[in-house]
Structure 1
C-alpha cells in the first residue's frame, strides 16, 4: 500500500458537534416548505437527523421532494438553501462545540508535519468554515483545503455522491491510495468508499451505546477499514491502515 500522506476529515459530528444544532435550526424551515405544499407531515430536528444525517440541506430537500412527490422551482430551492445556511450558521456560532478529543488529535497531526490535512464536507462552505472557526480548528487547515459538496463543485451535490472526494483528491494533488478519511455517517462513508479512499468510521458522536454499536456494525459492513469510538484511538486506527498489506489481485 502506498504511504499515507493526506488525511481528510468530515466536519459535522466528526470534528464539530454540529448536526443536532443544524437540524434543530432547519426543522422549522423544512416544516414551512411541507406546509406550503399542503402536506400534513412535520419534522423535529431529531427526526430529520434520523432520516437525513450526512446529507446537506439541498440533498434533504431533494429527498423530501422525491418522498412526498412535490417539486420546488430552482429559485425557490436556492432561496431556501440560503435561508437555511443563515439559520444554521447563527446557531453554530452561538453553541457549537468540538467533538471530544478531535481538536487535540488534529493539532498533533498538524504539528507532526507528517501529513497534509483537509476538510471534506457535504455542508455549505460558509457553514463548514463557521464551524471550525468557532471551535478553533481553522488554524490547522489551509483556507483552500476546506471542501464542500454544496459549494465547491460546478454542480452542487451531497454525499453519498463521491464527487466531492474526487474533487478534493484532485485539488490536493493526491491519489486515493495515499489518503485516509474520517467519517461518521453512512452517506459520508459511502462517498469516500466510492472514491476508493480508506475510511476510519467514527461513532463517538452518537448519543447512546446502542446507537454506537449499531453504527459500528453498519460502517464495518459498508467497508470502513477501522471503527473509532473515541478520538484518543485515532493514532492506533491510522497505524492499522498504514500497516495493512495491499490486497492481492485475483488471478
Structure 2
C-alpha cells in the first residue's frame, strides 16, 4: 500500500495529509491500539512501572533511575520486556534475565490500572457508532491480562470482547513489541482480512510504525496525549506514516462514517482532519 504524501500547510501549522476515501471504503475492521488510545492509561501505568523498572536496574547493578515521566518518554508504545532489555543493553549489561521482572511489572501495572481507570463516555459513544458498520478489535503491545483489567474498568468489554484482542506479548509464538509489525500481521490473519481492510488507530510513533509496516492504513489519535505534547506528537505520527491525525474518537467516527455512508464531500472532510 502506498501512503499518500503530506501536503504542506502554512508555516507553523501541522502538515495536512490527503486521505482519499478509497483507502477507507475497503475497511471492515477498526484495529485499536489500547493504552493511551482507548483509555488514558499511559501516565498511571508508568507510575507503577517505574518502581519495578528502577528495582530491576538496581538488581543488575545499574545506577540510573527514572522518573515516571522520563520512562514514559523513553518507552511509550513498547512493552516492559523490550524496554528493560534496551535499558540494560544501553548500560552495558546485555545478558540479563528479565522474565521475573516482566511478571512483576505486569502484576503491579494491571492491579493499578484496574483500580484507577474509569469509563470515558464520549469514547464509548463514538466506538458504539463505529461498531455499526465496522467490527472492532484491539491490537496492543500489552499483555492480555492487563487489557482485560483495563477493558473491564473502562466499560469496553462488550465492544471489544476477549476473542478480538491481540497482544504482542501473549498472542504471538515469540513475544515482541511494537514497532515490530508482527502483532498487526497476526491480527489481520486471525480476523481473516487483508491489511488494507483494517484501519489502525494509534497514539504512539511505535504503534504507527507497527501498523504501517504491516500494510494497514493508520490514523493518529491525540485524545489522551498531554496538551503540551500534542503538536509535536501530531508531527511525529504523520512522519511515521499516519494518514491523518484526529483529536477524539468522535472526530474519527465522523470522518470514517461519512465515507462509509457515501456522503458527498467526505474526501474534503478527511483532508482537513489534521489540524
TM over 0.5: yes
Pairing 1:18–2:41 present: yes
Q: Distance in 1 between matches of 2:223 and 2:135?
A: 24
Q: Distance in 2 between matches of 1:211 and 1:66?
A: 28
Pairing 1:218–2:236 present: yes
Q: Distance in 1 between matches of 2:43 and 2:120?
A: 12
Pairwise mapping of residues 1-251 of structure 1 onto structure 2 (< 5 A)?
1=22, 3-73=26-96, 76-98=97-119, 101-110=122-131, 112=132, 114-208=133-227, 210-238=228-256
Kept in 2, the 8 Å contact 1:54–1:187? The answer is yes
Kept in 2, the 8 Å contact 1:15–1:103? The answer is no
Kept in 2, the 8 Å contact 1:227–1:237? The answer is no
Kept in 2, the 8 Å contact 1:17–1:99? The answer is no
Moved more, 183-192 or 96-105: 96-105
Q: Distance in 2 between matches of 1:164 and 1:38?
A: 33
Q: Distance in 1 between matches of 2:192 and 2:108?
A: 34
Kept in 1, the 8 Å contact 2:32–2:138? The answer is yes
1:86 CA drift (Å): 0.6
1:38 CA drift (Å): 2.2
1:39 CA drift (Å): 2.1
How many residues in Structure 1 have an aligned counterpart in Structure 2? 239
Kept in 2, the 8 Å contact 1:228–1:237? The answer is no
Kept in 1, the 8 Å contact 2:80–2:102? The answer is yes
SS in 1 for 2:98: helix
Kept in 1, the 8 Å contact 2:138–2:166? The answer is yes
Listed one character per residue, the Cα deviations across residues 192-234 of structure 1 (whole Å, up to 9, x for unaligned) are: 00011011101121112x3101111111122211101122211
1:240 CA drift (Å): 7.7
Summarize the Cα distance change of 1:119–1:166 in structure 2 as closer, same or farther, 3 Å threshold. same
2:6 matched residue in structure 1: none
1:109 CA drift (Å): 2.1
1:94 CA drift (Å): 0.8
* Structure 2: tracts of 5 or more residues without a match: 1-21, 261-265, 268-275
Listed one character per residue, the Cα deviations across residues 57-79 of structure 1 (whole Å, up to 9, x for unaligned) are: 11111211221121354xx4111
Summarize the Cα distance change of 1:115–1:92 in structure 2 as closer, same or farther, 3 Å threshold. same
For normalisation by structure 1, the TM-score amounts to 0.90
Moved more, 126-135 or 184-193: 126-135
Summarize the Cα distance change of 1:183–1:241 in structure 2 as closer, same or farther, 3 Å threshold. farther
SS in 1 for 2:26: coil
